[in-house]
Structure 1
Amino acid sequence: METKKSITNLNVKSIIAVLVFSGFISTFNETILNVALSSLMVEMNVTAGKIQWIITAYMIVVAVLVPVTAFLIQTFKTKKLFLVAMTILLVGTICAACSGSFVMLLISRILQAAGTGMIIPIMMNTVLAVTSPQNRGSVMGLCSAAITLGPAAGPTVAGIVLQSFTWHALFYILIPIIIVAVILGSIYLNIETQLAKPKIDFISIILSTIGFGGFIYGISGISEQGKNLKIVALIFIIGLISLILFVKRQLSLKEPMLDIRTFKYRAFSIGTLLVMISMMTVFTMAVMLPMFLQGALKKSTFIAAMVLLPATLISGFITPIGGKIYDKLGGKTLLPVGFAIILVPLFILSRSNVHTSVISIIILFIIVEIGIGVTLSPSQTTALSSLPKECYPHGIAIMNTLQQLAAAIGSSLFIGIMSASQLKALSNQATAQVASATGFSTATLALSGFVLIGFCLSIALRENINKAKI
């Protein structure tokens, strides 16, 4: 918890700018290689199953590190923790730039993921601590913009860079940018904190690592062809059992690594579900739309990336505005309206076919991203504002961990639905293009159902907002 004296002497704007900038860099790394996987398979002579580990391993490590960082935030000073996280990210980026083999690149990505898994909780926890409740929505909007704009911009920027350079250039470009973030952090993150220094529980760390790692690996393996489903199922079950044991242990400890009791605050629980649905939507569409554009409309990889660009840019602009609207109106009206804005164009997209125009897809996806922009940040702010200040590290860690789970579940579940529907259409003598469109339509309709649930939950949250006066 920050002391009153330390907060009043802080250059809050500089701190927020450094943290949001660093958060964007770290999440940008998450998807930067997505469009290069096919060429990496050929260059490194590996199978599709192996190359998927470049993405899967990143997601697993981030999910594992986020809850551990809740403990670290209460044990080490913000500046020291930030510099360690960014240094790990820098070392991983340098190693990735110099990688000549699959194993080296995989290790480099794991290092990058470790830095990312620490940076996001540090950013959100520090921002909440130094920001007044009246401005919290606006600032959380900036944090949300970094978290969503980074992964969304990764494939687009990479698509542009790869037109002229090899994939190594993606990391060489990032090296000086990360160095600048490290220098700025060392200058501006002079924050005095009172550290609780909870007792470390190694059993919790082991259970958390196996649990979240196994669960995400299992979920990610659902939609990947060529995997041994028995092994995937076994790892998933081990992960699930470990998570159950982890939860039971946290409830029995005096000083839990991750305080599960945070879920007793109903507004936090519902708000976290809304965040998960928003993240699931944006990550799933970012994967499925390019597949639809290339498979059903026969557009190039570059065109597919460019179709996502307008919505990505508008999302980065709208998300902070959504936070400012939240500061003025609160979440009571904003959240249901935001989910309605997502639901309508998403349902229209679910009616897409091989004759759908690219322009209509661009416009509809822009509207979806506008809806995400006015729901994600207010959902986060509503959820976290319902917690006592001492619960912030745990609430942030829980929320960010579940965001990673939502991204993994979303991309795997809906791509699985898309593939199954596509195969069914092919068995009914449909052409490859028509089958691709049918798969996209079915998966998008299923996603619309989840967004409808989010809309209903946002209305249910109104009662809690009224009672708590959030």
Structure 2
Amino acid sequence: MEAKQIYTEEKPEYNAKAIMFVLLLGSFIALFNETILNVAFPKLMTEMHITATTAQWLTTGYVLVVGILVPVTAFLIHTFTTKQLFLSAMIIFLIGTLCAVFSNTFTALLISRIIQALGTGMLIPIMMNSALVVTPPEKRGSIMGLCVCIITLGPALGPTVSGLLLQHFSWHSLFMLLIPILLICIIGGYIYLENISVITKPKIDYLSILLSTIGFAGIIYSVSSVGTSSLLSTAAIFVIGLIALIFFGKRQLSLKQPILEIRSFKHPVFAIGTLLIILMQMFNFSINVILPLLLQNGLNTSSFTSAMAILPPILLGCVLTPFVGKIYDKIGGNIIIPLGFAVACIFTFVLSHISPSTPISTITLIYCAIMIGISMSMSTSQTTALSELSGKNQADGVAIVNTAMQIAGALGSALFVGIMTAYQNIYLKNINDASASTNQVNAIYTGFNHSITIAALLIGIGFILSLILSKKNRARSNKN
């Protein structure tokens, strides 16, 4: 039975600027909240008596829940009005934030983060879908560029702003900061938002949601447990997650209204482009987790210093992204994407060889060079991937890319923190005086160097794939 469409034929006029301002602000604060605790990890580890692997679940758990919710957003957009969805999301986000303000244990704080994620998981797809609807075709490039900038800038600024606050206040203040902004979003959404989607009341497949939850959660948890749990249990959980994702994929192919339209992966350019996004996002998200850990625990710097060390690369990336987009419009991605991966790979490898004697300024400069490569490859890979799809399939492509980015962030954080912790523990086991401060610092750097080396290898794989992508792009252009 076909779903009943409930909408008028006459296209209404929207206050596009007001709608997009509210949605962009709400999405920014949600993404900003993803990484707001990163530089607070050392303090939380001391105060709550937890390890770095445990602490990173405050970020990984948040991103994981968001990633699980993103595929469901397509169903929600066609079931509820835009205003209903946005206000519900922001109110749940506000409740989770209030709970975080009054949390004093790791369990309470993790539950608060999960509540926040339940509210914010739908915001990014709503923002991007709304941008395509309310913006005329000749201006979509600019508004989508702004959306990508928000997606990049939000999580990147989280550690910087929180580092500044932690100089003078407790970590509870990080969540107090969000409350007035959330209230502005709720009031603005109530006043300005209108329904801009086609409500069809589709049927949701609960088994798909269950399989995707088990699959993503199993893989992320198993990767995050590297070095802290037994190899057998970690492998078993990983296999369970992988099997669940395989069944999830098969079920999507059999459904008339799948939760996630994975047939888009039949297009080689889209499939490779999405894989490039995953590889780069894994590192892009994770570097802002493990670098503050290195600076504060390895060099004994303050949260303010670690925040200032990563601020220049973040601002550089924000400035470069629109500029790179203009270059992409003129010459395409055949050259700029491989070049971006090459630059990122080379300087990530350089970063993997730093030592306790390396000045913080040098680390910042290396990170700036890495960010140049990321800026050249991230948004351009996304644009190339989505351009392969027809108009009717682009909404599914957006959902897949958003899901991939969220899961990649969670997977990368779990993977690189897990590797860092594992090699740190191995180093301490193989020396006589593990409690000596010098050995503790050397252990942290050993873990960091191995983690970043793995990141460089993954980005190197991305470089090879980007060359294949360019070749397929040229073949497609010749056919056209």
Give the aligned residue type for 2:177.
I
Instruction: Select 1:441's aligned residue among 449, 459, 462.
Output: 449
How far is 1:263 from its partner?
0.7
Please name the residue that 1:300 is paired with.
Answer: 302
Distance 1:283 1:360 in 2: 21
Distance 2:78 2:404 in 1: 20
Normalising by structure 2, what TM-score? Answer: 0.87
Distance 2:384 2:405 in 1: 16
Please name the residue that 1:368 is paired with.
Answer: 370
Residues 1:454 and 2:456 aligned together: no
1:52–1:339 CA distance, 2 compared to 1 (3 A): closer
Distance 1:344 1:101 in 2: 41
Instruction: Select 2:89's aligned residue among 85, 88, 103.
Output: 85
Higher mean displacement: 313-322 or 108-117: 313-322
Equivalent positions of 1:13-162 (< 5 A) are 13-40=17-44, 43=47, 51-131=55-135, 135-162=139-166
Tell me if the contact between 2:224 and 2:418 (Cα under 8 Å) persists in the aligned partners: no
Higher mean displacement: 309-318 or 74-83: 74-83
Tell me if the contact between 2:36 and 2:159 (Cα under 8 Å) persists in the aligned partners: yes
Give the aligned residue type for 1:123.
M
Please name the residue that 1:186 is paired with.
Answer: 190
Please name the residue that 1:291 is paired with.
Answer: 293
Query: How many residues are treated as equivalent by the alignment?
Result: 467
Tell me if the contact between 2:224 and 2:417 (Cα under 8 Å) persists in the aligned partners: no
1:365–1:47 CA distance, 2 compared to 1 (3 A): closer
How far is 1:174 from its partner?
0.7
Instruction: Select 1:393's aligned residue among 395, 398, 404.
Output: 395
1:240–1:376 CA distance, 2 compared to 1 (3 A): same
Distance 2:380 2:14 in 1: 25
Give the aligned residue type for 2:322.
P
Give the aligned residue type for 1:216.
I
Tell me if the contact between 1:138 and 1:324 (Cα under 8 Å) persists in the aligned partners: no
How far is 1:269 from its partner?
0.9
Tell me if the contact between 1:140 and 1:381 (Cα under 8 Å) persists in the aligned partners: no
Tell me if the contact between 1:145 and 1:315 (Cα under 8 Å) persists in the aligned partners: no
Distance 1:349 1:47 in 2: 24
Q: Which segments of 5 or more consecutive residues in structure 1 lack a partner in the other structure?
A: none
How far is 1:112 from its partner?
0.6
| Partner SS for 2:155 | helix
1:422–1:137 CA distance, 2 compared to 1 (3 A): farther
Distance 1:414 1:260 in 2: 28
How far is 1:338 from its partner?
2.0
Distance 2:197 2:464 in 1: 40
Higher mean displacement: 289-298 or 367-376: 289-298
1:192–1:288 CA distance, 2 compared to 1 (3 A): closer
Distance 1:388 1:183 in 2: 37
**Cα deviation 1:183-204 (Å, max 9, x = unaligned):** 3333443353323432221211
Please name the residue that 1:319 is paired with.
Answer: 321
1:418–1:50 CA distance, 2 compared to 1 (3 A): closer
1:448–1:112 CA distance, 2 compared to 1 (3 A): same
1:393–1:307 CA distance, 2 compared to 1 (3 A): same
Distance 1:346 1:191 in 2: 45
| Partner SS for 2:194 | coil
Instruction: Select 2:413's aligned residue among 399, 407, 411.
Output: 411
Higher mean displacement: 187-196 or 146-155: 187-196
Residues 1:210 and 2:214 aligned together: yes
Tell me if the contact between 2:226 and 2:422 (Cα under 8 Å) persists in the aligned partners: no
| Partner SS for 1:331 | coil
Tell me if the contact between 1:6 and 1:192 (Cα under 8 Å) persists in the aligned partners: no
Distance 1:85 1:252 in 2: 31
Normalising by structure 1, what TM-score? Answer: 0.88
Please name the residue that 1:265 is paired with.
Answer: 267
| Partner SS for 1:332 | coil
1:205–1:420 CA distance, 2 compared to 1 (3 A): closer
How far is 1:398 from its partner?
1.9
Instruction: Select 1:359's aligned residue among 349, 358, 361.
Output: 361
Give the aligned CA root-mean-square deviation in angstroms. 3.0
Residues 1:465 and 2:473 aligned together: yes
Tell me if the contact between 1:139 and 1:323 (Cα under 8 Å) persists in the aligned partners: no
How far is 1:138 from its partner?
3.6
